[in-house]
């Protein structure tokens, strides 16, 4: 994977994460508890759905941070090298996830 390909893939994933955020905005909103129209189990389900949407948002934010860090490494000419040992990260590993900062040995 070239640096240009990595930059393109990382930018595309950032855009995808933004789209996923937009789709789940409503699911993360506070749950309205209306005794007359929603039963107890329905409210519990709504609260659980909200919690799952919030957890997914946290995962997307963590992924965004990894992607921005990878873009920074690209700008600095350090992308593709392990942040732990300095060795090159395997090509197949970077193709699977170009935001990775560590080789297999240092990631474990």
Rounded to an integer, what distance in angstroms lies between the CA atom of residue 104 and that of residue 76? 22
DSSP state, residue 83: T
pLDDT, position 14: 96
Asked if the model's pLDDT at residue 91 lies above 70, the reply is: yes
pLDDT, position 35: 57
Length of the chain equals 108
Number of domains in the chain: 1
- Count Cα atoms within 13 angstroms, Cβ side, for 36: 0
Is 69 inside any structural domain?
yes
Give the residue numbers spanning the domain of 7.
3-79
Q: What is the pLDDT of residues 27-77, one digit of tens each?
A: 566 656 555 555 666 778 878 888 898 899 999 999 999 999 999 999 999
Is 106 inside any structural domain?
no
DSSP bridge pairs for 88: 81
Average pLDDT value over all residues in the chain: 88
Is 89 inside any structural domain?
no
Rounded to an integer, what distance in angstroms lies between the CA atom of residue 73 and that of residue 91? 16
Is 19 inside any structural domain?
yes
Would you state the structure tokens that stand for residue 44, as one six-digit string?
A: 């519990």
The rounded percent of the chain whose pLDDT value lies above 70 is 84
| DSSP SS3 for 82 | coil
């Amino acid at each position: 994977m070239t640096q240009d390909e990595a930059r393109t893939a990382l930018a595309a994933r950032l855009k995808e994460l933004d789209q996923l955020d937009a789709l789940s905005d409503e699911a993360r909103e506070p749950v309205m508890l209306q005794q007359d129209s929603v039963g107890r189990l329905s409210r519990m389900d709504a609260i659980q759905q909200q919690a799952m949407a919030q957890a997914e948002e946290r995962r997307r934010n963590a992924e965004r941070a990894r992607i921005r860090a990878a873009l920074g490494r690209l700008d600095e000419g350090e992308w593709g090298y392990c942040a732990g040992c300095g060795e090159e990260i395997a090509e197949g590993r970077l193709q699977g996830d170009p935001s990775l900062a560590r080789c297999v040995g240092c990631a474990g």
